[in-house]
Homo-oligomer: A and B are copies of this chain.
Amino acid sequence: MDLQLMEKQLKAVSDSNRLKLLASLKNGEVCVCDLVDILQVSQPAVSQQLRKLKEANIILERKKGTWKHYRLNDSQTPYIQAIIDELAPIPLKNCLCSINEGEA
Contact = CB atoms under 8 A, between A and B. Distances in A.
Contacts of A95: none
A86 B4 contact: no
- Tallying the copies of this chain within the complex gives 2
Contacts of A7: 14-16, 19
Secondary structure class of chain A's binding surface, majority of residues = helix
Nearest to A17: B7
A6 B82 CA distance: 12
Contacts of A20: 3
Contact of A14 (B11, B16, B81, B87): B11
A79 interface: yes
Contact of A83 (B4, B79, B87): B79
